[in-house]
A and B are shown apart, each in its own frame.
Chain A
Amino acid sequence: MNKRRLLAIIKKEFIQIRRDRPSLAIAFLMPLLMLFLFGYAVTTDVNNMPMAVLDYDHSPSGRLLADEFIATSYFTITAHPDNYQEVRALMDSGKVKAALIIPEGYESSLKRGEKATVQFLVDGSDPLFARTAFQTAGILAQVESQSLLAQAAAGAGRPQPQGPAVDIESRAWYNPGLESLKFNIPGLIGLIMQNVTVMLTAFALVRERERGTLEQLMVTPIRGSELMVGKLVPYMLIAFIGTAVILAASTLWFQVPVTGSILLLLALTVIFLFFALGVGMLISTIAKTQLQAMQMTVLVILPSILLSGFVFPRSSMPPFLQYLGDIIPLTYFLEILRGIMLKGTGLADLWPDVIPLTLFGVGVVVLASRKFRKRVE
């Protein structure tokens, strides 16, 4: 690699990026915008669901159960209807998303050691609402039952209840994977940064091809590697600043702290960005037009949301899909982000992710350099 040629390309790219306002906006504003968009989408949908409580029993045990719902902060009791018709009207109008109906004799059933049944209604039109509501209700029932069982065991004269003391009737299957904001934010950082960086470089070469400047460059002594690295360096800097900014927003605004070493996280971010930018560059060498580059970018980004483990755990996927996930930069970076941010994991435990991330990064950039032919055919 010739230093003078490399520097010439880096300088040229910086000048062009500086004059290209839309690209600058994508690089700096889009990550923040997406973080806030997704960050809030994830938090608000399970918080403060309006709920109605129809209490036929008017007992301390019934009120205690309703309070348990409020304590989860998933529900806010906004209505106290007097009969079932009113509950129906509230649900129909959408004023409440859930309703708890405590039947007459709830407390007395509990006292007798019999199974007490309450009804829990959920607006199922939004499956995410419904699932979270069901999960919460299920957990509450378990907790309530256990505490009552404990009380029963302590109280000598009371008869031993058979099975769970409180049964909340709900017909949804139970999924213990309640995803919290804390778990989501590190993944979001990785996902957003991967998509933005792949998009940034996917156009880097295609644009020159379309404008005809690439043909001019091909008839110069320039080398493929100089062109690739020269184009990567400026985008690397931009993407790095972008990552630092959304990392700051995550800790300061969303209160997701970095438990482990920030320096280690930033260092590994560089490796991740190198891989992601390399993937974009490879797309750019293969694509003939900007449209093709865009389509290929989508082809990479969409499966990576699922295959990287961002939504579903990779361990439960069939081997073929796991292999596919192995070649996605986000897969490794997710482990690194979640590890360092949430668990405070150190480099010693992250090697299994750092090594493939580095190898694939170098591999993809070398491949892009090789793929770039100084010929038109």
Chain B
Amino acid sequence: MKQESRDLGHERFNSRQTSVPKGDPPVPPAIVVEHLKKQFGALVAVDDVSFTVPAGTIFGLLGPNGSGKSTTIRMLCGLMRPSGGSGQVLGLDIVSRAEEVKSSIGYMSQKFSLYEDLTVMENIHFFGSIYGLPQAEIGSRYRNLVERMRLGGRERQLVGTLSGGWKQRVALACAFLHQPRLLILDEPTAGVDPVSRRLFWDILAGLAADGVTILLTTHYMDEAESCHLTALMFRGRLQAFGPPADLIRQAGLRTLEDVFIHMVGEGGREVE
């Protein structure tokens, strides 16, 4: 499976199912969601969503604004209590063991939620300590991360003065400091220049190759096509789920963008 993830070409996933891959030792899926539902008053933000994400997968959650992506993510992080259904993250129930979920995953919220009035190093040390790591351990992990996240040379700079791409990589470093098996990234590349986006995806591919599962949301179709698995959400419902190439072929279209527009259009008619 690690071998597979190293190559981001989606053709390899054509035959792959969304269930746990065969072979030993069997790796439990990173995320299992069944009939997940979230209601805010009369508004159903997430409606009967079910999917399974195998470990080591880059899973892209797509959908227009307000389709329920962020709400789904927040339920998976233990930030929101579902109104119905169930979910397990890294084998932990997202309601009854929400606090354990929080300690075991890495999370990057929609904005780059770092302390802008702290330097890169100070942010790293703060989040490292919050995850209970000793100072020496934070130092050595940070030196590894500098290499991996291309963070050299700006340790003493205030985060607020960094560019979007840099902030994003520092945020990823903070989220990955405690070496979680699952990273949940909410629109990590919004407002980031193309070169930094490419760099960021190289880093993600490297992490996935090491067996880290990555769940992210994005509006960029080129990024979506680089995911091993994609899910398309619209008006709180899961419209499509599978490797990008499968989705394109099943719909009989040429690109994922066509699929996206087609589905959103279809869903729109359904609701109206």
Contacts and interface: CB of A to CB of B under 8 A. Distances in A.
Contacts of A377: 80-81
Interface in A149-193: none
A108 interface: no
Interface in B127-162: 127, 129-132, 134
Interface in A43-84: none
A369 to B, nearest CB: 15
B114 A213 contact: yes
Given A215-B79, A220-B103, A376-B80, A5 B132 contact: yes
A212 B114 CA distance: 8
Contact of B115 (A7, A12, A219, A376): A12
A42 to B, nearest CB: 39
Interface stretch (B116-124, B196-204, B237-245): B116-124
Q: How large is the interface on A (under 10, 10 to 19, 20 to 34, 35 or more residues)?
A: 20 to 34
Contacts of B109: 212, 215-216, 219
Interface string A206-224: 0000011101111111100
A211 B116 contact: yes
B130 A219 contact: no
Contacts of B13: none
Given A219-B78, A219-B107, A16 B131 contact: no
A222 B128 CA distance: 12
Q: How large is the interface on B (under 10, 10 to 19, 20 to 34, 35 or more residues)?
A: 20 to 34
Interface string A8-21: 11011001100110
A212 B171 CA distance: 13
Interface in A217-274: 217-222
A313 to B, nearest CB: 46
Interface in B168-199: none
B103 A12 contact: no
Nearest to B104: A221
B81 A375 contact: yes
Nearest to B77: A219
Contacts of B125: 8
A223 B239 CA distance: 38
Interface in A1-41: 2, 4-5, 7-9, 11-12, 15-16, 19-20
B99 interface: yes
Interface string A275-302: 0000000000000000000000000000
Contacts of A211: 111, 113, 116
B30 interface: no
A376 B79 CA distance: 6
B127 to A, nearest CB: 7
B111 A212 contact: yes
Interface string B62-80: 0000000000001001111
Contacts of A375: 78-81
A220 B129 contact: no
A12 B118 contact: yes
A220 B98 CA distance: 11
Contacts of A4: 129, 132, 134
A221 to B, nearest CB: 4
Given A215-B113, A221-B130, A15 B107 contact: no
Contact of B79 (A11, A19, A218): A218
A221 B103 contact: yes
Given A4-B132, A15-B118, A212-B109, A220 B127 contact: yes
B131 A221 contact: yes
A374 interface: yes
Given A12-B126, A212-B109, A376-B74, A221 B99 contact: yes
B6 interface: no
B17 interface: no
Given A4-B132, A5-B129, A19-B117, 18 more contacts: A4-B134, A8-B126, A8-B130, A9-B130, A12-B122, A16-B117, A211-B111, A216-B107, A216-B113, A218-B79, A219-B78, A219-B79, A219-B109, A220-B102, A220-B130, A221-B131, A374-B78, A376-B79
Interface of B: 74, 77-81, 98-99, 102-103, 105, 107-111, 113-118, 122, 125-127, 129-132, 134
Of all A-B residue pairs in the complex, the 3 with the closest CB atoms, nearest first, are: A8-B129, A216-B113, A219-B107
24 contacts: A2-B132, A5-B130, A7-B129, A8-B129, A12-B115, A12-B126, A15-B117, A16-B117, A19-B117, A20-B117, A211-B111, A212-B113, A213-B114, A213-B115, A215-B79, A216-B109, A216-B114, A218-B102, A220-B102, A221-B130, A374-B99, A374-B102, A375-B79, A375-B81
